[in-house]
Amino acid sequence: MLGKLYLFAQRFMDLRFLKFLAVGLTTMVVQFSSFAMMWDIFHLPQRLSVSISYIAAVTFHFLSNRFFTFQAGNADVFKQLIKYIIIVCLNYIITIVVVDVCVKTLFLSPYIGVMAAIATTVMTGFLFLKYWVFGEASRLGKAKQLER
């Protein structure tokens, strides 16, 4: 049992996971800085500033994971994009559920709920991106690297 758990953890914690975390942190910087630019410099309305920064962040996240983290740039971008949008929606639902459980059932602060949701969606996001969204192209890219 422990051997299987160790093998799973070893497979999960590869270089791509570290790249995924780096992309996530950089995405956060993109979102906050683009929001600040829209809000403070261009004086756009709050909702428009948030929307623009969110779109910039999601676009950056998708492209960075596609090319940098999973090296899946040779695959069908439309197919990957559809899957990515499904994952974004799924992670949104997970976020709502986790925050609700933390607040309404466990009587915790919404801030703790959001932190728990982030921890959950980092894991689900990575697994879905690795094995479903970019999985096939990522495996092909890895095979080509091994051939060299």
What is the pLDDT at residue 145? 47
What is the pLDDT at residue 2? 73
Question: pTM value?
Answer: 0.80
d(CA 60, CA 76): 18
- Cβ atoms within 10 Å of 110's Cβ, excluding its own: 12
Q: How far apart are the first and last CA of the chain?
A: 36
- Cα dihedral 110, 111, 115, 118 in deg (nearest 10): 70
What is the pLDDT at residue 137? 74
What is the pLDDT at residue 13? 66
Domain ranges for the chain, please list them: 1-69, 75-148
Q: Give how far Cα 143 sits from Cα of 69, 72, 139, 140, Å.
A: 15, 12, 6, 5
What tens digit of pLDDT does each residue of 49-82 get?
A: 999 999 999 999 999 999 999 999 999 999 999 9
User: In the chain, which residues have pLDDT < 70?
Assistant: 5, 8-13, 138-148
